[in-house]
Amino acid sequence: MIVYLASDLVWATRIKGAGEDLGLACRPVRHADMLEARLGEGGVTGAVFDLVAEQTAIELMQQLRGHPAGGPDRVRVIAFGPHVRADLFEQAAAAGADQVLARGAFDRRLGEVLTELAAGPGQTPDS
């Protein structure tokens, strides 16, 4: 399962729709309790965080990295946001994001990103 935080309905629809097109389970997380519940379900292989959600995104990344199921070797984290917000990119990296992408790059690579996250840590889609 891939969990995601989207700042608006447009991104939520894009992420969920791309996941469905690829046959991947993508589930939203909007706050700490939702993330905890998703992690409790098991099978989370990746997470996507929209940095426009700023503090919530950073807090959820930190929560994920502190959770036994979300340690650095267990769940890959991709963050995306406006290319002009280098400060958010730095905060995301410090909070544990494996990769931070500008929105345009994330949008162009959405299917590829989700496929990589679904493959799990240390795996490639072909593994």
**7-35 pLDDT tens trace:** 999 999 999 999 999 999 999 999 999 99
**pLDDT recorded at residue 67:** 77
Q: Which of 13, 37, 26, 42 is nearest to 113 (CA)?
A: 26
For residue 92, being part of any structural domain is answered with yes
Residue 31 resides in a domain: yes
Q: Looking at the domain assignment, is residue 73 inside a domain?
A: yes
CATH number for the domain spanning 51: value is 3.40.50.2300
Digit-coded pLDDT (tens) for 28-69: 999 999 999 999 988 899 999 999 999 999 999 999 988 776
The reply to whether 127 falls in a domain is no
Domain holding 41, by residue range, is 2-119
Q: Which helix (H) or strand (E) holds 85?
A: none
Q: Given a cut of 50, is residue 118 above it in pLDDT?
A: yes
21 within a domain of the structure (yes/no) = yes
pLDDT at res. 120: 76
Which residues are registered as beta bridge partners of 57? none
How many domains does the chain contain in total?
1
Under 8 Å between Cβ of 5 and 58: no
- The residue written with tokens 């990344």 in the block is 61
pTM to 2 decimals? 0.90
Q: Which contiguous run of DSSP H or E holds residue 78? A: strand 76-81
With pLDDT > 90 as the criterion, what percentage of the chain qualifies? 76
Average model confidence (pLDDT) for the chain?
90
